[in-house]
Amino acid sequence: MKSSFSISDLAGEFDVTTRTIRFYEEKGLLNPQRDGTRRIYSPADRTKLRLILRGKRLGLSLDESAEIILMYGTPGNNRRQLETLISKIHEKRVELKRQQSDLRLMLKELADAEEKCRKALKGRLNGEGTL
């Protein structure tokens, strides 16, 4: 494995823009070394970027991801980090299940409204009344 990465290395590997990486740097989540104006990212920065993007895919906010990432590399084991991640995953799952239920209800309401509209149109075409 490489011992350092350029911003374009990371952008290409993770399919993000260099602006995205600089944004995470501005937020204090990535801390590259500098060689003049050139950024040099460490394997730890690469891992942090991977975790940020994974958190994003899981639906975590940047602050939630940052909380977990900042625990990365703390002395001892990573029990606290894993417990926090499990808690965030549980919260996200509960939220998604609620949204799933809301979506099912909305789809049913839309189907019912569509059916009423179709019946009204059919009745109107047959001269049976108005909407």
pLDDT tens figures, 70-95:
776 655 667 888 888 889 889 989 99
Spans of all domains in the chain? 7-106
Residue 131 confidence (pLDDT) above 50? no
26 Cβ contact partners less than 8 Å away, ≥ 6 residues apart: none
pTM greater than 0.95 (yes/no): no
Output the pLDDT for position 73.
62
The CB-side HSE value for 68 (13 A sphere, CA atoms) comes to: 25
**Which numeric CATH code is attached to 7-106?**
1.10.1660.10
